[in-house]
Amino acid sequence: MNATVSMIAQADPGAGYRALKPEIDAAVARALASGWYILGQEGAAFEREYAEWLGEGQRAVGCANGTDAIALILRGMGIGEGATVVTVSHTAVATVAAIEMAGATPLLLDIDPDTYTMDPDELAAVLEDPPPGIPPIRAVIAVHIYGQPCDLGPMLAACAKAGVPLIEDCAQAHGARLHGRMIGTIGHAAAYSLYPTKNLGALGDGGVLSTPDHELADRIAAIRQYGWRERYISSLIGVNSRLDEVQAAILRVKLPHLDAGNARRRAIADAYDAALAGTSIAPPVRRQGAEHVFHQYVLRSPERTAVMAALKAQGVGTGIHYSVPVHEQSAYAGRITLGPAGCGETSRAAHEVFSLPMYPELTEAQIEQVCGALRGL
């Protein structure tokens, strides 16, 4: 590496804190001084503000993390033991872990190799003719991986035909849009992670879920705290999955900057796309009619190891999301049911994908450094 070139991290949650340090420090001080630390005014205000930001009559419920947000939606819908939930293997393991936390059986489908999102034809096929030996399919979880909306049109049509709700895993896609509509307001309910590196990130763990079904939101709000509708009285079987006041206060500072952060990510993606023109590596495919929010800017190459080393030599950090598909991980391999397509595209992608530095705080000089390295590929 050239001695004058400094390494650019692939992710840098500390930069997100530094960019808003005075406001975040003041919000933390306010939450600490309040004397109330769990499910208080900050949490309630964050839920209101997040629901307003989503629009479309959504209700938002805060919880401890994005994995719990998925599991809480399933519990709130009464989906658990004796039910199958369909999703993809090309996702954060959290999506599949949440299905099993709720007691349900995952069925993992393959992806479209261009957009890395669920193949809608395979979904229609399994809803019509489920694989033998699994409980009835009761829900589908669409994962908007890397910040790119799934092909929700045909997926919703297939779900409606089968009478099954569609849940959106928006952990990587806060603020993405499909044909102008906000992702997370299109299905029956949506889960968002607020992990520090996500497009909207707390400075610790956090999660939120949304639904236009107010009865479902009320039920989940009870389930997240021991099933209490009334203090100390469990009227539902619950868990403990609460968003704390300090994180809620931090998130209230960050939420008004989310749209600008997503626009900045898109501008960085445009610069990377332009730098790749004329190289052997194709820029990420953007779905027609979708507004991608580039949680990750993902490229693929059969020579991934060499390409990543070449970028590293130019001071460009990279990551792999994800190197081993869920169905090949030892906790899942051999016992998890796959769709009829067999997840071949998922396995191929896992061997080839890598992610470039992507966060709104990247400086112009850093972006130019990445672009210079890309032009040499």
Ligand X SMILES: *Cc1c(COP(=O)(O)O)cnc(C)c1O
CA distances, 159 to each of 46, 181, 186, 293, 371 (Å): 31, 19, 13, 25, 42
72 binds ligand X (CB under 6 A): no
Taking the complex as a whole, the smallest distance from the CB of residue 376 to ligand X amounts, in Å, to 31
Residues 31-70 that bind ligand X (CB under 6 A): 65-67
Hey, which residues between 79 and 118 contact ligand X (CB under 6 A)?
A: 91-92, 94-95
From 107, 171, 186, 268, residue interacting with ligand X (rule: CB under 6 A): 171
CA-to-CA distance for 11 and 152, rounded, in angstroms?
A: 29
- In sequence order, which residues have a C-beta less than 8 Å from that of residue 157 and are 6 or more positions away? 124
Three-class DSSP category at 277: coil
- Which SS3 state, helix, strand or coil, does residue 319 take? strand
Q: Which of 14, 150, 144 is nearest to 92 (CA)?
A: 144
Three-class secondary structure of residue 137 per DSSP: strand
Number of alpha carbons in the 13 Å side-chain half-sphere of residue 55: 8
Q: Which is nearer to ligand X, 65 or 211 (CB)?
A: 65
Q: Which is nearer to ligand X, 47 or 162 (CB)?
A: 47
Rounded distance between C-alpha atoms, residue 114 and residue 119, angstroms? 10
Q: Does 195 bind ligand X (CB under 6 A)?
A: yes
CA distances from residue 309 to 222, 300, 305 in whole angstroms, order as listed: 50, 14, 6
Q: Provide the minimum distance between the beta carbon of 192 and ligand X in the complex, in angstroms, as a whole number.
A: 8
In the complex with ligand X, the residue whose CB is nearer, 69 or 275, is 69
Q: Shortest approach of ligand X to residue 154 CB, angstroms?
A: 21
The least distance separating ligand X from the CB of residue 288, rounded to whole angstroms, comes to: 22
Task: Name the residue with the smallest CB distance to ligand X.
Answer: 66
169 binds ligand X (CB under 6 A): yes
At closest approach, how far in Å is the CB of 264 from ligand X?
A: 20
Q: Under the phi-then-psi rule, with left for phi > 0, alpha for psi from -120 to 50, and beta for the rest, what region is 326?
A: alpha
Cβ atoms within 10 A of the Cβ of 133, count?
Answer: 7
Nearer to ligand X, 130 or 242 (CB): 242
Does 148 sit near ligand X (CB under 6 A)? no
CB of 68 to ligand X, least distance (A): 7
How many C-beta neighbours within 10 Å does residue 377 have?
18
Per rule CB under 6 A, count of chain residues that contact ligand X: 14
Site for ligand X in 205-224 (CB under 6 A): 207
Q: Which stretch binds ligand X (CB under 6 A): 17-25, 118-126, 166-174, 237-245?
A: 166-174
Q: Which is nearer to ligand X, 148 or 185 (CB)?
A: 148
Query: To 10 degrees, the CA torsion angle through 343, 91, 175, 76?
Result: 100
What's the min distance (Å) between Cβ of 197 and ligand X? 8
Using CB under 6 A as the binding rule, the residues of this chain from 285 to 344 that contact ligand X are: none
Q: Are strands 105-109 and 84-88 parallel, antiparallel or unpaired?
A: parallel
User: In terms of CB distance, is 42 or 169 closer to ligand X?
Assistant: 169
Q: Would you say 31 or 94 has its CB closer to ligand X?
A: 94
Q: Judge contact between 177 and 149, C-beta under 8 A.
A: yes
Residues that bind ligand X (CB under 6 A): 65-67, 91-92, 94-95, 143, 169, 171-172, 193, 195, 207
